[in-house]
Every structure is written in structure tokens, then in C-alpha cells.
A and B are shown apart, each in its own frame.
Chain A
Amino acid sequence: MRNIKIIIFFLSSICFLFSCDLDRVNLDEVFLPNYSITLGSLQVAENTISDIIVLSDTEYLMAVERNSSQIDLIKFTQISVDDTWDIETENLLNIGEGSIRFFDSIPSGFLIGFQDVNNEFTIIKINSNFEIENTASSFESFVDTFYNSSEGLDFYNFSVTDEGYHLAGRVSSQGTNFSCLLNVNLELEPQWFKTYFEKGVIQDVSSIGIDSFYLVHNSPVGADLILDNIDGTAYKKFDLSINELFFGGESIVSNDKLFLSGIDDNVARTIEINIDNQSAFINEIEIYPVNDFRAILITRDNILGAGIQPENTDNYLFTSELGPIGSIWCNRYIDSKFQRIIDLEELPERGIVVVSTIENENNYFINITRVDEEGATINNQFSENCL
């Protein structure tokens, strides 16, 4: 998933995994990678969407939509030669042609959804050997009979359940659009379909419990958080804003809290929603202005954000760990024209990896930035402390 990061490994399990050394790594003694590398050989579509999946401290996996609309599953390997970091790429799988809507890991492998060149939504399940296991498309025919006649489907995110996947998005029906949710089983066969509001879109979905789910719903009149289940008996809608505070969304579910992120008037913000007492707390970061922003909940129970900060004609990439008020640390790369944040991921105790796109003469390239958890500790002319 791109916008919702479900931390399926709760803090306890994370603590278990890292119980061997819960102390902060001594950065003076450990050689941690810090770099910002643009892959000039990997030209991508301007609005390519993906998630980066950390395979190891030195290997990442990502589905990439090339500028030719070719979608490939690519492994990125970080290497160091003579104290100089570099990234090697390996094309693992040719997935097809289209426009990526989501890509993320699932318990048995990976799931990618994209609009193919025929404007049909297609989802492909890839196993851990990077082989295609299932492919499904032509969901319209199911929707036509299960729900109503449809002219198009588009899904922007998914969540995992024990029995399958929820696909969140929008359906075109009878000349208008409705926000919708499609459930498919583990074989990607459609099971049920729900609609919500006209002219809306479900930007994100997060499964909770057996059959319930949270939905981030955006519409021209604002953003909502919806709690629902298959038969609607759990339905609740929470009005997040009457002023469209959130444009896009990045939701993070952790226990009884839901974290969302977004941008309002060039201010990057996160919102922490307490499900139990139905309250929300907004936390904005001091980097201003911000064009694009993504955030994750890291193992230290803090929010880690990455965004694009325009400065005159340049776009900087910043990474910041948020504290109760303001940033704990902030690192900024100023050497390239960063365009969008694709994804970021925490490597506990080993730093942060941020994937973004770089614009160069209307061509777009993948950039991978690696910083340690206390920000840029290696001084160079392109990296600076942004606090």
C-alpha cells in the first residue's frame, strides 16, 4: 500500500525482533549509509506510484512504472565501493503495461494494482519468488450484476484480511462516480462490493478485526473517516474537516489509534485519531512550505515524515522525526529537483530510506535517499540540518 501503512507488527513484536539491542546505535562507531542517489538509467512516469519494500539492510524492492508505461518489479541493491555509495538495479519481473495504482507486500508475497492500457483495472499477486501467482481484471462484469451497471473502476489502495483483500477506490456508474470498496478473495475473485458517496473516492482502507475496516474518504466537501463492515452494521462516519484539510491521505493504524497525514495550505500535518474516545489531535511540522508529504509511524512510536520543500526554483527533500512539538531531527537534501515522495520506510536502528522522483528537463527519475535516524551525520555540500 502506498498511503496507508498498516503496521502489522505491533510494537511488541518489533521490540521482540530488536530485543537483542534496544539501545540506540552508537553512530560514531557504526558505519551507517547516508546518501542520495538518483538512478539516471531508470526513467519513470511522472506520477508513478509505488511502495518500497525493504528486503534487507541493503536491498529494496519496488514496482516501477517506466515512462513507457512498462511496469517492472525491480530490486535495488545498495553497494559501497571505496566509501562511495551506489545503487544497483535488477529487473525481477515484467508485469505489464499501464499505470500503477498500488503496490505493497502481502503475507504471501506482493500485490500490485494498475490500470492497464485498455483502462481495465488489473491486480496481480506475486509470490515471494517474484513470480506471478494470480491475475484478475474485468471486475466491471461482477459489479454490473452485484451492484449496478458500471463504466469504470479505479482503486487506489488495498488492505489485507484473512480471507482476501479490500480494494478502495471509485466506480463510474450511470454517468457519475461513487466511492467504493471491492472485496476479493485470496485468489483475487470478487466477493462483494459496496458503495458510499457520490463524487467521492476512498483513498485508503485499513482492515481491523475480522470484517471491519476503516476508510479514508475524500470528496469535494471534505475528508471523512468511515468505519464500516460488510453488512453496514458497523457504519460510522467521522467528519475530519469541513474545510478539506486533507488532500490525499496517509493513514496508519496502530492499536486504537489512526494516524493520517496530509497537506493543508502548504503545511504538512499529521492527525492522530483516537478511535475509542473519538478525538483527534493535529500535529504540524515546522518545514514550510511543503508540496508533498508522506509519514510513517516508526518503532520509537514517533511519526517520521518526508516531504518536498520548494525553495525558489528548487525542490528540497526533507526527512524529519516529529516529537510532541516540532521535529526531533530534520535532514534536507538540496542537490536535486525533487518532485514527489513515492514512499519511505524505516530500517530500525539502521536509518530511513526515502524513494522520491527527480525532475530533469521534464524527465523523471527514481531517487533513493538513505539517512540515519538522527539525520544527516555525514556532512556534505548537499545535505544539511533543516532545524
Chain B
Amino acid sequence: MFSGFSISAQDIQLDTIICGDDSTFIFYAPRDTAIYKSEWLVNMSVDTLLQHSVEVRNNDTIYLISTLFDEESMSHDTIFDTYYIDLRLKPEFDFIIPDPICNNGDSIRLIDNSNYFDSEITPMFIDETGSELPYNDTLPLLIGNGESISVIFLYEDDFCPYDLDTFFEVSTLLQPDPSFSFEMTCENEFLTIINNSEDINDQTQYSFEKMGEEHMYSNNNDISFTFLDTLADDTYLISAIVDNSNSCIDTFTHSVDIKEVTYVSFDIPKDEYCANQDSVILKADTPGGEFSGMGINDLGQGMAFYLPTQSGTNISISYSFTNQFQCTDIDVNQVTVHDRPIIQLSTLLPEYCELDPNDSLTINQNIENKSTYNITLDGQPYDSSVGLDYIFILDNHGSYEFTNLYEDENGCRDTLISTTIVHPLPVLELDSIITITPGDLIKIGPSGMPAIDYLWSNGSVENSIEVDQPGLYSLSAQNIFTMCEITDTIRIEYDDDIETKLIEISIHPNPTSDLLEINLGQTFTGIRMLDVNGNAINLNGLSIFSTDINGLLILDISNQSLGYYYLIIPNIGNFIIVKI
């Protein structure tokens, strides 16, 4: 079938491009066969059998001889056409893309096995930058470790629709590059391997082998690996396998020396101490090291002075020794340090006045029998007691010094020395009582003393006042320097004996059922009893009675009727007696 053709002009050679599917092609004469008689010459051989078409191959040159017969002139006109056949077949593309392999530094080869059917078109590979890559059936590619590249293949045909524009990914697998370094390790230390490996990925696993023991690590966040057991002083061969888990593996081997350690120790006498109170000399078994810790003063030669100053529990005191291999051993002891009690003596004032109210002193602690008071007065022992409290009796003036000692439950102690002064009171003595006769005016009060202010309860500020009225008069005397004040009271009273007795009578019991005792204090006669009607009462034949010489009269009215009676005592009175 025709996919296109060209007809050359008369006597003109023409290139004829034909896009085909096969190696031959039927080429038809382009002239009207009804007018022209055509003959084909193929590759210089005439095929007389062909009139209208001819089978051609690529690179064939064909000639078409067309003859026109003119009947009027009876002449022949011949046209000679030449065709150069360019028969193009569609290429068969075929590329061999290499599988990814662990990178070993060699180039990767991409192979082009395509059949282009002798096409004159040149295909090409270009990189991602557009640069053409040298290419001859095989395209060598140098790819980084674990990297990939893209190459573009171009086949361009301007006449036939055989273009191909595609790309290929070519990559290598990441090949690990193991590298480890080893810190100097003492036999009391864990061996630590520092990972310097390169070209590793997130799935890289490390396998270390030491004396037949295998240690696996997979955490790639770690920059070092530590063997969690110590190794004795010796030389060890450490083998490592680094596996990137992508079939790329590499190994590493190293020899490690474990250093010898000089072991030291020291003893501490007690486990518990009191801050700022207890001290001790510490001595290590091997000199040359250094003590450290709170309260430690290293003295050298493996000795230290320990004086704890701060409280706490599990406080570490250590002795560190480093030998010639720079291997260090540390011996650590832990102690508890207690705070010392801080005594505060409450309510003790810096000054008192003699005879002030007793002051109840107390310290801010809680163990009764671990607290003592020792008191001196003017430098001489004055009093002592055991207990938290002390009653300070201000009977004596002078300078007092209180020494408080206290030891708490941890044996921690504190001592507090406090001083106070008890000022003497002004001298003031008033008579307790003075009996006066009404109308008397008396002067009361002491002689005036220097530096003493006086104040009476009536407002007077004199040292003495004149009074004439009963009462309780108080006088306060205050030392103007110490402000110590004393108050005394004097009772002024009238003489109670200045009196006249108007009545002295006692009648009891009243009411009475039988005996009535009348006591008048002196002899009385003419005493009578009357009933309510005024009739005299006769008792044992008597209706007029007298007291004895002491003024006593006893009447027995048990036989009288119940009711009221008058007891008539001349010049004394009329008394109602109730008989019950």
C-alpha cells in the first residue's frame, strides 16, 4: 500500500522516501496509463511485464519510461523518470538495563540492542543536563555509592512516525565503609567503640565479636557502642560486621588493649554526722589519690579532714586514685549529715525590773531531758535546771547569763548564751494601814529620792500627800532611767472603835416552839409578854421577867398557844414572837 510517493519531474531524478512495514514496497506509476505507455527499469533491468507498478526495495533506483503516441503526427514522446527509493522500516528498540549492585567504584553499562534497519538516523543518550553521552551500543555510566541517575534516549525521524523519547533509571546499592575507633579503656571501665563508619543507612546493623561473644547493635542514632561488661587487663581482637541490610556488607577488625587499674579504698568511722559539729581524719589505703566531697579538705598523702557543714542524706565522700595507665579507681562512702539544732530562747527580754511577773522561758526544741539551763547572776552560779522550760523568777536584781545546752535525737548539739539584766526597783515602802480619826489630816508617802518619778492614785506627782478620807491610796515610784516601777498601797481607814452601841439585843430562835433566848448584854427587868389582845402571858406563875446579871433571859413558851406574842422590853422595844 502506498504511504506516500513522489513523482519526479520529467528527466529529473527524485529521492523517494517510503515508510513501510516490510522490506519491499509496491510502487505505482504516477502517470495516466490510459494516455501513456509505461515501462519500468529497475536497477537497470527492464521489467516489461510491469505497467502500472513495480516492487521496490530500499536503496533501489527505478526508472519509469512513459511513452505518448501522437496519432496526427504519428510520433512518439517519451518521458523518463528516475526514482531513488528510501524505504524506511520502524526500528525495533531493545535496551538492557543493569540491575542495581553494591557499589564497587566501576561504571555501570547500559546496552542498546535495538534494530534500526539500516536507518540513517542516529539515536542518542543525554543526561539530565541535556548533554549528549558518548554511546556506541553500550552506554557506560559512573554512578555514586547508593545513588541513581536518569538517562534519556532520543530517536527522531522527521518523515516517518518512528520517534522514541524515553528515560532509564540506573542505580547502585549503598556499600558500607566501616570505620571504628576505640577509646583507651581501663579494666574497670566499659569498652566504648566510636562509630566512624560511612555509607550506612537507617537499617545498618553492627555486629561485634569479641572472644567468641557477639554484640549486636542496630541503633544508628548511637555514635558509639558500649560493651556492658568490663574486660580484664589484656589485649582483645574485636571484629565488626557492618550490614546495610541491602545485601551490601563490609567487615572491620581491630585489636584493643584493656589497661590495668590500681584499686583503692578508705574507711569512714561513722555513717551519720552533725553539721558544723563533728570532724574526722580520713585515710586511704593507697596514697597519691584525692579525697572529694562536701566538707572534705584534702590533705594529700591519701589523707583528708572531714568537717560537714551542710545537712543531707546519702552524701558522697570519695577517694580517687589514677595510676600510670591513667586508669582511675574511686572509693565512695555515703554519710548522712544532720543539721544542728538552733536554740532560740523565747520571751527572754534584754531588761527586766525586779519583781516583774515571772517570765516563762522556753526553747524551741522538744526533748525535755536533753535541755539544760545554767544561769549565773553577777557571775556567780545562780540556778540550773533540766527541761525545755524555765520559770524566770525576778526576785533578785543583777546581771544574768543564761546558758542553754541542747542535744537532739541525732546527737547534734547547740549552745546558746543569753544575757539579761534585772534592774532594781526604786525603794518604796508605805505603811499598809493607818487608822485615823475623822477630821484628821495626815501626810503619807516616802521621802523624795533622786531620779524617781512619783504618781499617786489621786493624780499627785509629789512624793507625799495629805489625806483625810478613808481609802486605798496607791503610789507608784518609777526610776526615770530604767523605767522600773514599784507600786505600794496604803489603806487609810476610820477608827471603827469610835462608836456608840445603841442596840444590843439578841432574840432567838424566832419563830420558836418552846424556848426563847433573849440576850440583852446587861441586866434588864420589867420584861413582859402579851398576846395579840394585849393580855399578859404568865409563865410559871410569872408575868414580869428579868434577865440574869449577864443580860440573859430564857423563856419557855412551849405551853402557849400557837400565834403571835409581843415581847415588851422597857426602853428597848416591842418584839414580835411567833410561836409555832
Contact = CB atoms under 8 A, between A and B. Distances in A.
A231 B469 CA distance: 10
Report the interface size class on chain B: 35 or more
A45 to B, nearest CB: 32
Nearest to A235: B438
Interface string A168-200: 000001111010000000000000011111100
Contacts of B568: 325
A314 interface: no
Contact of A145 (B458, B470, B530): B458
Interface in A246-296: 265, 267, 269, 271, 273, 278-286, 288
Given A173-B471, A233-B439, A197 B493 contact: yes
Contacts of A235: 437-439, 494, 498
Contacts of A273: 502
Contacts of A233: 439
Given A195-B469, A239-B502, A148 B496 contact: no
B457 A174 contact: yes
B580 to A, nearest CB: 10
A27 interface: no
A235 B501 CA distance: 15
A232 B530 contact: no
Given A265-B510, A288-B578, A282 B469 contact: no
A193 B470 CA distance: 11
A204 interface: no
A267 B468 CA distance: 39
Contacts of A280: 502-503, 573
B305 interface: no
Contacts of B566: 286, 325-326
B450 interface: no
Contacts of A178: 470-471
- Of B437, B473, B489, B501, chain A has the most CB atoms within 10 Å of the CB of B501
B469 A193 contact: yes
A148 B510 contact: no
Contacts of B489: 174
B414 to A, nearest CB: 46
B472 A176 contact: yes
Contact of A228 (B438, B474, B506): B438
A363 interface: no
A97 B45 CA distance: 165
A273 B578 CA distance: 25
Contact of B576 (A194, A232, A267): A267
B138 interface: no
A111 to B, nearest CB: 25
Contact of B499 (A144, A237, A271, A285): A237
Given A197-B493, A284-B574, A325 B534 contact: yes
A245 interface: yes
Contacts of A265: 510
A353 interface: no
B527 to A, nearest CB: 13
A241 to B, nearest CB: 6
Contacts of A240: 502-503
Interface string A279-319: 11111111010000000000000000000000000000000
Contacts of A64: none
Contact of A198 (B458, B493, B502, B506): B493
A193 B534 CA distance: 50
A267 B510 contact: yes
B500 interface: yes
Interface residues of A, number: 51
B505 interface: yes
Of listed A233, A239, A285, residue having the most chain B CB within 10 A: A239
A282 B439 contact: no
B457 A282 contact: no
B571 interface: yes
Given A282-B575, A283-B574, A239 B499 contact: yes
Interface in B473-504: 473-474, 489, 491, 493-494, 496, 498-504
Contacts of B496: 197, 237
Contacts of A148: 457-458, 469, 471-473
Residue picked from B532, B534, B574, B575, most chain A C-beta under 10 Å:
B574
B568 to A, nearest CB: 7
A31 to B, nearest CB: 32
A266 B458 CA distance: 43
A237 B501 CA distance: 9
Contact of A282 (B474, B498, B503): B503
B161 interface: no
A232 B491 CA distance: 18
A149 B458 contact: yes
Contact of B501 (A195, A197, A239, A282): A239
B573 A198 contact: no
14 contacts: A149-B459, A174-B489, A197-B470, A224-B499, A235-B494, A237-B498, A239-B499, A271-B503, A279-B571, A282-B572, A282-B573, A282-B575, A283-B573, A288-B511
Interface of A: 144-149, 173-176, 178, 193-198, 224-225, 228, 231-233, 235-243, 245, 265, 267, 269, 271, 273, 278-286, 288, 324-326
Interface of B: 437-440, 457-459, 468-474, 489, 491, 493-494, 496, 498-506, 510-511, 530, 532, 534, 564, 566, 568, 571-576, 578
Given A178-B471, A280-B573, 20 more contacts: A147-B458, A148-B458, A149-B459, A173-B471, A174-B471, A174-B489, A196-B494, A197-B494, A198-B491, A198-B493, A236-B499, A237-B496, A237-B499, A267-B576, A282-B503, A283-B574, A284-B574, A285-B576, A324-B574, A326-B566
In the A-B complex, the 8 residue pairs with the smallest Cβ-Cβ separation, listed nearest first, are A282-B573, A232-B439, A232-B438, A235-B438, A174-B472, A237-B499, A284-B576, A280-B502
